[in-house]
Amino acid sequence: MEIEVSATLLDAYKCLPGLPSHPEQIAKVIDVLGKTSSADYDLLHLIQYDPAIAARILAVANLPVYGYERRVESLQQAAGLLSPSLVTSVILTTPVFEMFRDADHTYHRKFDHLQLWAHGAVTGTLAALLANKLGTMEEDVCLTLGLLHDLGKMALIINHPREVLEALDRARKDALPFPQALQDVAGCTPQEVAGQLAEEWHYPANLIEYIQSLENGKVARETGPVVIVRLANRLAEDWGYGDGLHLPENEPLDPLVAALGISLSDLSQWKPDMQSRAENRARRILSKTLS
């Protein structure tokens, strides 16, 4: 029975065209589009605040019809390759999350969706900053991976909230990692769902591998962007910008820091700047405008 649940749940993500965005985020982006011409706004500025919009833009940029020789693995590349009118069209046709709520909000009302959106944006910001501090990895790839690191979790909360709530309850009661609890409940993990979506949306192979590796618990230099994003995720949680699921963050800092060739004292030195950037990003997500 558990195998059947797994197959059914993962199959549900094989033909999913995209994720809906939070209505407040859509409203803010539309407000910016309405006030400026396509020649005046920064496309990357618009899409790096919203994981759902970012995921759709990246999917469009990787459609076979465009035939780019190098697969598009970052939002910066996508914004540079796609025309402003096409990006605007994708943004304006992104479905609104309210359409996906269960009729009486029995399940969805138990999640703070805007906090989850803000967590993704803050993690992306911190990942880009860490890449900049290290100077050895592509900031735009780290930003994109950080923004999308909860892709599977978001998809599950939107489409299978009952299973997520059951897994959260099991994780808290039995002190289990959330992926393991979800595996027990639904037969899959958030990163398996994220990997399924990334493949469905024709993301480049290395980005798919990064997304799938975010959950495996391994720390290695050769997966630098993954380590950076996991460290950024941990810092976001520690600094009050969690995903709203209220689960303890158990991944220790020391192995992540050591894998990047830095020290805790380096983090302490960078902390004021990083916290300031994180606060600014979260404030823009939670405010009425993106300005």
pLDDT grade, residue 2 (50/70/90)?
very low
**Is the pLDDT score of 105 beyond 50?**
yes
Local structure of 74: helix, strand or coil: coil
pLDDT grade, residue 6 (50/70/90)?
very low
pLDDT digits (tens, 9 = 90+) for 147-201: 999 999 999 988 888 999 999 999 999 988 899 999 999 899 999 999 999 999 9
DSSP per position, 198-251: HHHTT--HHHHHHHHHTTS----GGGHHHHHHHHHHHHHHHTT---SS------
Q: How far is CA 48 from CA 45, 134, 147, 163, 221, in A?
A: 6, 21, 7, 29, 26
Q: Where is pLDDT greater, at 218 or 130?
A: 130
pLDDT digits (tens, 9 = 90+) for 262-279: 999 999 999 999 999 999
Q: pTM above 0.85?
A: yes
Which domains are present in the chain? Answer: 2-17+104-286 (1.10.3210.10)
Q: CA 11 from chain center: how many Å?
A: 21
